[in-house]
Amino acid sequence: MRVRAALLLLLLALLVAGCSSKPKPGRAVTVDAVPRAEPESRYGNPDTYTVRGKTYRVRDSNHGYRERGIASWYGPGFHGKRTASGEIYNMYAMTAAHPTLRLPAYVRVTNLENGRSVVVRVNDRGPFVENRIIDLSYAAAKQLDMISSGTARVEVEVVGPNPVAAMPAVSHVNTSKQPLFGRDNVFIQVGAFSEMANARRLMQWLQGEGLGPVREQQFGGMTRVWIGPLDSAGAIDAMIARLNRLGLFDLQVITAP
């Protein structure tokens, strides 16, 4: 019995050591960010800023940006901390840091060494290392197969619209004469995908994070991932806050017919 107990304790110790030595890939969101028009960040776009004695000038526009260079990735040491845009960094979301693009931005990053490509949402500043042009989240780096190498030669290209001038926050006010709540018809759309497999992957990840109920809706040639129904404005705000903490910002409140 003592031998069996000792073996069990040894196995548990090995499991704990294995879990603490590297991130848990199973938690990563492995679907591309979906480009959309967003308000410009209020905090992440100074005209210039200085890091380690070097001054960076933020671009006037992201339009037409394309560059080749070295990408790196950042993970556990920054996970849960605030980004330059004021958002919380989630190493398991498809995001990135760039020194001069206006925030937020959406870029396609292609690993020139293996042809893999991802679309990420840029919401942070960096990397501040010579000859590196972008810092990727753990999830994005994993998709590009550059975790072990730490860096890769990439092409970065802006996709989607420029961020628009910041606008006042929109509250969940129903301006029609019809009640917003009272029926099971209010949802948060977390994503819309042309490939059903990507939608299913996101649904599984959301459920694994304890979010739900999660459902898929097919229309317009797209598979849409919804959470709900939600029965109050408070429930909507709380769910949006939870999704934001997980690094998900491309959200829409949907009132189903």
Structure confidence at residue 4 (pLDDT):
43
Q: Which amino acid is at 257?
A: P
Q: Are strands 95-97 and 117-124 parallel, antiparallel or unpaired?
A: parallel
pLDDT tens sequence across 158-211: 997 777 554 333 333 333 334 444 456 788 888 888 888 888 888 998 998 899
Structure confidence at residue 118 (pLDDT):
95
Structure confidence at residue 233 (pLDDT):
79
Residue 19 counted as domain residue: no
Domain end among 138, 158, 178: 158
The residues of the chain scoring below 50 in pLDDT are: 1-26, 166-182
Residue 138 counted as domain residue: yes
Show the domain range for 70: 25-158
CATH number for position 247: 3.30.70.1070
Residue 172 counted as domain residue: no
Distance of CA 237 to the CA centre of its chain: 19
Tally of domains in the chain: 2
In this structure, are 145 and 223 located in the same domain? no
In this structure, are 129 and 236 located in the same domain? no
In this structure, are 136 and 231 located in the same domain? no
User: Please, which residues bridge with residue 96 across strands?
Assistant: 122, 136
Calpha distance 192→198 (Å, rounded): 9
Structure tokens belonging to residue 133? 């042009």
In this structure, are 65 and 113 located in the same domain? yes
In this structure, are 78 and 137 located in the same domain? yes
Structure confidence at residue 28 (pLDDT):
52
CATH number for position 32: 2.40.40.10
